[in-house]
Amino acid sequence: MALQALQSSGVAFRKILSHFPEELSLAFAYGSGVYRQVGPSSDQKNAMLDFVFTVDDPVAWHSKNLKKNWNHYSFLKVLGPKIITTVQNNYGAGVYYNPLIMCDGRLIKYGVISTSILIEDLLNWNNLYIAGRLQKPVKIIAMNENVALRSALDKNLKSAVTTAFLMLPESFSEEDLFIEIAGLSYSGDFRMVVGEDKTKVLNIVKPNIAHFRELYGSILQENPQVVYKIQQGRLEIDKSPEGQFTQLMTLPKTLQQQINHVMDPPGKNRDVEETLLQVAHDPDCGEVVRRGLSAIVRPSSMKQSTKGIFTADHLPCLARGIPSPDSCAFCFCGAHSYCGEAHHPIIS
């Protein structure tokens, strides 16, 4: 099963996890501190470690975490766990980040997301934020026996493959496929225009082809619409209108709705299936799908980055061209020092 490829037994990650409340349905680490990247993020030893913690009851979890790690939180901590959870669930992409934390000698940031919201994102791509993270190799540190969550994780990977197929030609390489998959959650992300390294997706994929292959290999072998030539690292897919319509009909619900919105003339109000049939016959089918993705990613990335200004207890970082504390590692302003007792950045 593809999901098994995400599992990790990293002792260092579990040691960091021991500093937090245990009630997690899923915990994973991701980014350049976990998997080697080329380019500006290639210094893996000193890179910030990124974590996401999935919890069934965010109010209860934040309540316990505030007792253990009060100084991890911004000024919102004085408003209590219920307000923190409201901000987490109702603004941005449904995740609450505490960035720039020193833990066991490593700089980390961690996001907290409700299990139910994550499952919805994995199945429907409401935000394609944490779901997008999970389309790339990550290190799963802890996962309970939540059947719905496990099924949604697997469905998210299959949806990523199908969406990438629609944007690729009839024949392509494994690397081509993995670059498309890795780029799904960056489609329309304003940070890729304003501050991020423009070769970020390529830098993620090139050193990690084996990890992508491990994650997606079984899905590709079992997919009836693809000829997967493993030895040559090549794939061939059905690009007929019928084949594309079948793929379009299995896309996540929110992406189907956004494609319908892109294609539907004002006042016509066609149903989604009718629109998808038209798109399947369109020579620019892949571009239409890409525009649908952008319509999901752009607003969620902007709202989440704006939320980061309020959930991070430090000066707005300029490292990526715009204040986005929950997505950047260091600040050019030089105003941060680190309190060893509180394990938290303070303004010097």
**Residues 276-298 pLDDT 10s:** 999 999 999 999 999 999 999 98
E-strand stretches of 201-304: 226-229, 234-237
Q: Give helix 81-90 / helix 58-68 axis angle, nearest 10°.
A: 130
Which residues have C-beta within 8 Å of that of residue 148, sequence separation ≥ 6? 119
Mean pLDDT for 126-138 is 95
**Residues 135-175 pLDDT 10s:** 999 999 999 999 999 999 999 999 999 999 999 999 999 99
End-to-end CA distance of the chain: 49
Mean pLDDT for 30-47 is 73
pLDDT of 42 > 50? The answer is yes
DSSP labels, 94-145: SEEEEEEEEETTEEEEEEEEEHHHHHHHHHH-SS-SHHHHTTS--EEEEE--
The predicted pLDDT at position 3 comes to 54
Q: Which domain holds residue 178?
A: 2-347
The predicted pLDDT at position 340 comes to 30
The domain total for the chain is 1
> How big is the chain, counted in residues?
348
Helix (H), strand (E) at residue 294: helix 285-311
Enter the tokens of residue 233: 């690292």
Between the CA of residue 225 and those of 41, 163, 175, 255, 296, what are the distances in Å?
36, 13, 19, 20, 26
Instruction: Report the amino acid identity of residue 93.
Output: A
Q: Phi/psi at 101 (nearest 5 deg)? A: -110, 135
